[in-house]
Structure 1
Amino acid sequence: MATIASQIILHPVVSQGLKFGGTTLGRDKTYRALQYFSRFFAWYLINKGDKIEAARWSALKAHLGTARKLMRLGKPMEHLQAALRAAFSSSPALETITTIARQLGYFGYLSYDAIVWASTIKLINVTKETAARVQKRAFQFWVAGIAFSLIHGALKSLRLAKESKALKASKTWGEKDLAEEASRETRVAQITAARNSNNAQLALDIFDVWIPASGAGLVNLSEGTLGIAGLISSLLGAKAQWQSVNGKK
């Protein structure tokens, strides 16, 4: 019995899960997935007419949302630092501009989001109208951040595709070119990894953008649709974080 228990408790997947959960981002992605599943499931139950059970899931969604806002209180400064670092990077001009704009968009979103959190827990007292305006402005900054992220991803995808095509066209053969070929293959591998990472971010942004767009009044989507979109983007983010902390590509 002790052997079976040790095999379960010390199983590599359990250890990997603990390592994933030991990171702030890992916990946030887990809470976010539960939050958006709750959003979808509450909508589903309401449509079935089960309002009592739906209220439980709506409460879970609300509490997880508040908890996640608390976890993000220091994030605005991180995005300001990222914007400043991007300004000194050697990336192409348009990619640099869209990166800075993206980070500033997220800075604005999280700054207003902190005010929403403070209002929710009654740390500050604002009228319902003011709270609604602050929440809408947060969504507007979030939309802007994701929009610039999508533009950045598209620009980067085009650049990497051109570089990959040029490298493949320059392929040489022969023993005298072995060193050059090894260097080229290394660069091809780097570009492939960068393209995979960029495509993953694009997919995440495509699912995420509908949430703030709906909150800002730009689109009108059901709670169920937004819940599914948020759940998928959360799982994509969780997958990337799992691979990062566990050393997998």
Structure 2
Amino acid sequence: MASVASQVVLHPVTTHSLKVLSTTIGRDKLYRAIQYFARFFAWLLLSRGYKVQAARWNALKSHLALGRKLMRLGKFMENAQGVLKALNAHGDPGERITAIGRQIGYLGYLSLDNIVWANSIKFFNLMPSTAQKINKRSAQFWFTGIVFSIAHGLLRAGRLANEVKKLQSQTLGEKSLETERDLKLQHLQVAREAVRYQFIIDILDVWIPATNIGLVNFNDGILGIFGLITSLMALRQQWLK
């Protein structure tokens, strides 16, 4: 029995899991996955008339959401740095503009998210109407950031596809030049896969703030599934790192 326990506790998967969850991003993505599963499951229980059981999952969802806000305190400074880096970057103008827009969107979202958290724990006592406006403005910034991220992904995907075609059309006689070209193609393919992966995350996530600001009216079941999928995808990225 001790041998089995030792194998489980010291297994490489367990060790790697602990490394992932020792990072703020790893814990955040795991908590987000549970939060959105709870959102979906609470909706499912409510739709079948299980109000008491649904309340338990709704409480879990709310407390995880509040805890994740605490973990994001000050994170907006990363986006502030991102804005400055994008302003000073070189390259395709469209990609630069969308990168700046994405960072500004997330900067506004996370800045207001800090105020939402402070009001939630009664550190600030905002009027209900003011709190509602800040919540909606935060969701609008979030939506804007994701839309710019989608546009950035499309522009970058187009540029990378053109670069791949250009390299593939080249006729090289020397072995060393062909090897160099193959390495460049390999790097471009990896970059394209990363862009596609992020595009899928964005195209699913965008409906969450879109619903919050009233552009669409998806129920908690759909949003819960979308959020669960994107959380697991983001957690996978962190796992592979």
| Structures share fold, TM-score greater than 0.5 | yes
Shift in Å, 1:159: 0.4
Match of 2:238 among 236, 241, 244: 241
Give the aligned partner of residue 55 of structure 1.
55
1:1-249 alignment to 2 at 5 Å? 1-173=1-173, 177-244=174-241
Letter of the structure 2 residue corresponding to residue 166 of structure 1: K
2:127 and 2:235 mapped to 1: Cα distance?
36
The TM-score normalised by the length of structure 2 is: 0.98
Q: Cα–Cα, structure 1 residues 68 and 178, in superposed 2: closer, same or farther, change >3 Å?
A: same
1:181 and 1:216 mapped to 2: Cα distance?
52
4+ residue stretches of structure 1 with deviation over 3 A? none
Shift in Å, 1:76: 0.6
The TM-score normalised by the length of structure 1 is: 0.95
Shift in Å, 1:56: 0.5
1:147 and 1:125 mapped to 2: Cα distance?
32
2:90 and 2:180 mapped to 1: Cα distance?
21
2:159 and 2:98 mapped to 1: Cα distance?
14
Q: Secondary structure at the match of 2:172?
A: coil
2:134 and 2:231 mapped to 1: Cα distance?
24
Shift in Å, 1:98: 0.5
Q: Secondary structure at the match of 1:170?
A: coil
- Name stretches of at least 5 consecutive residues in structure 1 with no aligned partner: 245-249
Give the aligned partner of residue 247 of structure 1.
none
Quick check: 189-198 or 86-95, which moved more?
A: 86-95
1:100 and 1:122 mapped to 2: Cα distance?
33
1:210 and 1:199 mapped to 2: Cα distance?
18
Encode CA deviations 1:111-144: one digit per residue, 9 max, x unaligned: 1111111111100001111111100000000000
Aligned residues: 241
Q: Secondary structure at the match of 1:123?
A: coil
Percent identity, please. Answer: 50
2:35 and 2:175 mapped to 1: Cα distance?
53
- Name stretches of at least 5 consecutive residues in structure 2 with no aligned partner: none
Q: Secondary structure at the match of 1:110?
A: helix
Shift in Å, 1:10: 1.1
2:206 and 2:168 mapped to 1: Cα distance?
35
1:182 and 1:65 mapped to 2: Cα distance?
49
RMSD value over aligned CA atoms?
0.9
1:185 and 1:46 mapped to 2: Cα distance?
55
